[in-house]
Amino acid sequence: MKTNNITYGLIGAIILCVMFALQWFAKIPLDNMLYKWLPTAIFVLVVILGAMNFSKINEANVTFGQVFGNGFKTTAVITVIFALFFVLFILLFPDYKDVILDSSMAQSANKGATPEQIAQAREMAEKFFLVGGLAGVIFIDLLIGVLASLVGAAIAKKK
């Protein structure tokens, strides 16, 4: 059986990494709605297109489970590469952490948090920023990927 999960995973990961870096270097605001949802839409599209292509390269002689598995493997490739990129980015650009924390603390202040609560939250967030951010990236990517894999497996042609 032919597979395409590495190819589609690399394509998806490269696009997401470039978009992440572009947002930072172009100073696109964190609350920009396009940049909040476009990476998710691209992730889903890449996984679904990969599932459809997987069916095509195997002449539709595939099962739902095989297509889903290929989609999940594509998700895994994207997730691993993007997670490594995320860690490397934070290590190379430590001011990224400050911008994220400043934005988060401003949101807390707008919701009525006291200065003491904000200071305590910032202290905790600074301690666990890398681990928490990495866990968030992995969890969200895997969740999105599972859903996209299910959709891709459902719409891919099967004999």
110-122, pLDDT tens digit by residue? 888 888 888 898 8
Q: 27 exposed, middle or buried (CB, 10 Å; 0-12, 13-18, 19+)?
A: exposed
**CA distances for 65 relative to 7, 106, 154, angstroms:** 20, 45, 10
Average confidence (pLDDT) over 44-63: 98
Average confidence (pLDDT) over 37-43: 97
Percent above pLDDT 70 for the chain: 100
3-class DSSP assignment, residue 28: coil
Model pLDDT for residues 59-114, shown as the tens digit of each residue: 999 999 999 999 999 999 999 999 999 999 999 999 999 999 988 888 888 888 88
The C-alpha atoms of residue 50 and residue 71 are separated, in whole angstroms, by 7
Average confidence (pLDDT) over 8-33: 95
Q: Residue 82's pLDDT is what?
A: 98
The C-alpha atoms of residue 156 and residue 135 are separated, in whole angstroms, by 31
* Token digits of residue 104: 């988060």
Q: Residue 32's pLDDT is what?
A: 92
What's the DSSP call for residue 112? T
Full-model pTM? 0.91
Dihedral in degrees, nearest 10, Cα atoms 50, 53, 54, 57 = -150
Within 13 A of 58's CA, how many CA atoms are on the CB side? 22
On the question of pLDDT at 44 being above 90, the answer is yes
Model pLDDT for residues 104-155, shown as the tens digit of each residue: 888 888 888 888 888 898 899 899 999 999 999 999 999 999 999 999 999 9
The C-alpha atoms of residue 107 and residue 20 are separated, in whole angstroms, by 21
